[in-house]
Amino acid sequence: PFGHHGEAESAESRADFVHKLRICAKELREARRWLRLVERAQLIAKPHLLAGILAEADELIRIFSASIRTAESNSKRK
């Protein structure tokens, strides 16, 4: 997701910026889905250690979602 965030920073337009942020959010949701699968299937010796990573993924998804809403709102004003 963070590689995509770097792409968003160099977006060519506000629409491109929103599009790239949406890709970041999508990638984060996919990563979270895989982490939950690993946790539930107990594919690692200590699945409880994923709790912090999952919480961080949730927070990042909220941040990216808020950024998308803000960017979309700002583009409607112009």
Each residue of 8-55: pLDDT tens digit?
777 778 888 889 889 999 999 999 999 999 999 989 999 888 999 999
| CA 67 vs CA 25, 57, 63: distances in Å | 10, 15, 6
Q: How confident is the model at residue 66 (pLDDT cuts 50, 70, 90)?
A: very high
Determine the pLDDT at residue 3: 61
Residue 45: what are its φ and ψ, rounded to 5°? Answer: -65, -35
Q: What angle do CA 44, 46, 52 make, to 5 degrees?
A: 105
The reported pLDDT for the residue numbered 76 is: 82
End-to-end CA distance of the chain: 28
Predicted confidence (pLDDT) at residue 57 exceeds the cutoff of 90? yes
CA–CA dist 21, 4 (Å, integer): 7
Q: What is the pLDDT of residue 1?
A: 53
Output the pLDDT for position 62.
Answer: 96
